[in-house]
Amino acid sequence: MKRLLQFAFAAMMLFAACEKDKEVTSDDTFGKVPQTGAIFCKHYIDSYIDVDTMEVRQYTYYEKKPVIRVSIGGFEYDYRGLSGMGNYARKVQAEDFVYDGGVGSLPSGYVPKYDSTAVLPVDQDVLAAMIKKNLAVFDSISKRIGDTCFNQISVPFMHSVANDTIMGIDVVCNENFNETHKVGSSVADIVDFYGSSPYYYIRNGYRNTQTGGYTKIMKDYGLGIDSELAMCRITDIAAANVKFFDYHFYLVFDKLPTKSGIYTFEVTMKLSKNTLKNTVTMEF
């Protein structure tokens, strides 16, 4: 009996050593969520957004400077093949659903036209085909930019980026802003772009080349930790080559208007695929 117990103990120790030295693969860890919410991630980027909406709103002042927060939206291609049931409603049964501004029961805000409490019908065959197609698009983009071997534990859905490049941004004031910026004129020469993109981080072998003040700025703005900051006057945004940018960024005014009050601005963002416009009211 003693020899049998010794043999069993030795076998257990050998098995434990083999498990310890075993190479960790995505199959071993994918979907096993620790308390932190992190899982094994093959890719750094979780999803790519085909941008077709842009929301703008006044944000808190940054170092006494007025700020516009810009958030993008659109159909997402994620590592699961489907970003929420909203994509299903949008692409498969668009004629039966309308957008309610994001307050409905579905993740992306899409609800049935006539019954906001109805459950979205799921055709398993259609859903499976969509997942397969979306995964193919996600994998294609990931391979194109080299995001295929991140292979680290990370919290999912922290890195959603635009599947596009910013070609231009303009901000036009509908009131007299100051002596040099009259009603209907652009204030682009006094507005800075603060955003981030993981593109160059990924192309650099998942290493960040920026240090110092960039870290504090990105932390203050809640921008991607491992992304690299893109900061420039919006008149120079095309030259900055901001591609695969994070789903939100900021427009920071360098000057205040001559008089305090409420001002309305039209924000235009030109992408390589389309042009988006929206208005924001700001109180100075």
How much is the average pLDDT of 143-147? 95
Q: Which residues are CB-contacts of 66 (< 8 A; sequence separation ≥ 6)?
A: 58, 252, 253, 256, 282, 284
What whole-number distance in Å separates Cα of residue 81 and Cα of residue 173?
A: 41
Radius of gyration of the chain (CA): 24
What whole-number distance in Å separates Cα of residue 284 and Cα of residue 101?
A: 27
pLDDT for 122: 56
Encode pLDDT of 35-83 as tens digits. Answer: 356 778 889 998 999 999 999 999 988 888 999 999 998 888 887 765 5
43 within domain boundaries:
yes
Encode pLDDT of 74-109 as tens digits. Answer: 888 887 765 544 444 444 333 333 333 433 333 344
pLDDT for 112: 39
8 within domain boundaries:
no
Encode pLDDT of 168-200 as tens digits. Answer: 999 999 999 999 999 999 999 999 999 888 898
pLDDT for 132: 82
Domains in the chain, number? 1
pLDDT for 19: 36
Tokens of 209: 């080349």
pLDDT for 152: 86
94 within domain boundaries:
no
268 within domain boundaries:
yes
108 within domain boundaries:
no
Residue 234 structural domain: 39-79+123-283
DSSP alpha helix (H) spans, 47-178: 84-92, 124-145
162 within domain boundaries:
yes
91 within domain boundaries:
no
pLDDT for 94: 37
Report CA 267 to chain centroid distance, whole Å.
Answer: 20
Asked whether the predicted pLDDT for residue 117 surpasses 60, the reply is no
Higher pLDDT, 156 or 177: 177
Encode pLDDT of 215-255 as tens digits. Answer: 566 666 666 656 777 889 999 999 888 999 999 999 999 99
How much is the average pLDDT of 267-273? 96
C-beta separation of 162 from 170 below 8 A: no
Element (H, E) at 15: helix 2-21
Residues 174-210 as b/e (b if ≥16 CB within 10 A, e otherwise) read eeebeeebeeeebbbebbbbbbbbbbbbbeeebebee
pLDDT for 81: 67
136 within domain boundaries:
yes
Question: Residue 107: helix, strand or coil by DSSP?
Answer: coil
